[in-house]
Amino acid sequence: MLKSSPNIRKDLATMAGKSDLYKSKIIKELCLGNQLSGSDISLRIDRSLPLTLRILTELVKEGTVEERGYAASTGGRRPLMYALAAGKMYGIAVAMDQLVTTIALVDLQSFTILESKKLNLQLKDNDSSLGQLISNLNEFIHGLTIDTDKIIGIGIGMPGFIDVNKGINYSYLDNRGTSLTKRMEDEIGIPVYIDNDSSIIALAEFKLGGAKSRGNAMVINVSWGIGLGMIVNGELFRGYNGFSGEFSHIPIFNNNKLCDCGKNGCLETEASLKVVVEKARHGITEGRVTSMKKLPDEIEEACQEVLKAATRGDQFAVELVSEAAMHIGKGIAILIHIMNPELIILSGRGAAAGNLWLPPIQQALNRYCIPRLAAYTNMEISRLSKEAELMGAACLVVENIDKQPKIKPAIPVRPFVA
């Protein structure tokens, strides 16, 4: 039998003095698998080295942080390295779209997904969607084998117009105009943080993926819509009230197709994966030559089959992806003209098609973008792929470690059993 760990969530939430605040800031810096020296941490939290080392010593004694030996020699005295102790802190990451929700337990030390659950949860025209989400979260947490006191927060990426500060989603998961995060915290007993799914994916790319250490980057979330997350001057850009990045609803086409937003001709009416699946179904019905047979009724499974067929070289599937990519490329040309980014990453569900996206997007840029601007923008496919939103949701928990509110536990805590 192992001794139960201290209640990390309670320690972070209490923060009675500055020492507790500095502890939380140090823990925040050591998440994401980071190993740092005392001087590195001192610079990051903007505190003196003696104070930083004193607090690190306290954290080591508590078992939250551990010493990892000395760094490789660079000619001077080798610094002692510190890391978050394994198995001490976890986050619940939730990745949502209009149709599918995935809940996962993430180890914040190694940033690995340990357990996950996928459920079909329709958000549009579903008044009970918030209650269903809360119920599934409680069920997932109760089923975990870890000590639930080690879960320090729940991060949720979701579609829609989201006010991060008020905790309100103006598009889905209606809570009668009041904070859905407060309701969730009251019913679950763990701090909850929400953000737009595309902003969350951009956060993942900025902290863990291809946009790490980049000052100006754009992350395109290719899914049932075409989302956008922006890194501007080394920070995640959300706009005046958090609604930036609605790339999907740029009116590009005169196609008289009604978008979910209520307008006509939006980018997603021709370029989303939902449209790709619809065109695939229609083509199969019309007798197009393809290795794909009748697609599954469930749209996510159907989408996976189309993307897999495209990566196998199925001509019809490649044609569908290429057509969507050309449209996305036209939209990207607009972004490059406005923002002049150094990097654009294609992420989200669509990244499963890999480099198939790049040639037609480049072709669109050749056609619509001023060459001098396009020449300085690199483009790549996300390495995080389908896990990007979950990783971003876990990053959101980490981002708020030093802002933990007091939460009264609403779930029974089971003793930790090795």
Question: What's residue 385's pLDDT?
Answer: 73
Q: In this model, does residue 155 exceed pLDDT 90? A: yes
386 confidence band (pLDDT: 50, 70, 90):
confident
Radius of gyration of the chain (CA): 23
User: Are residue 153 and residue 27 in the same domain, yes or no?
Assistant: no
User: Are residue 43 and residue 123 in the same domain, yes or no?
Assistant: no
Q: Which domain holds residue 99?
A: 90-200+391-403
Helix (H) or strand (E) segment spanning residue 276: helix 273-285
In a domain, 414, yes or no: no
pLDDT digits (tens, 9 = 90+) for 76-101: 788 899 999 988 899 999 999 888 99
Residue 266: closest CA among 245, 249, 283, 285: 249
User: Are residue 101 and residue 183 in the same domain, yes or no?
Assistant: yes
Alpha carbons 80 and 39: distance in angstroms, whole number? 9
Using a 10 angstrom Cβ sphere, with 0-12 exposed, 13-18 middle and 19 or more buried, the burial of residue 276 is buried
Task: Give me the number of domains the chain comprises.
Answer: 3
Taking the model in full, what pTM does it have?
0.85
For residues 163-186, average pLDDT:
92
Q: Are strands 100-107 and 90-96 parallel, antiparallel or unpaired?
A: antiparallel
Give yes or no for a contact between 36 and 82, defined as CB atoms under 8 angstroms apart. yes
User: Are residue 310 and residue 269 in the same domain, yes or no?
Assistant: yes
In a domain, 339, yes or no: yes
User: Are residue 50 and residue 108 in the same domain, yes or no?
Assistant: no
In a domain, 152, yes or no: yes
In a domain, 416, yes or no: no
Q: In this model, does residue 151 exceed pLDDT 90? A: yes
User: Are residue 136 and residue 235 in the same domain, yes or no?
Assistant: no
Question: What's residue 54's pLDDT?
Answer: 93
User: Are residue 220 and residue 195 in the same domain, yes or no?
Assistant: no
In a domain, 97, yes or no: yes
User: Are residue 72 and residue 164 in the same domain, yes or no?
Assistant: no
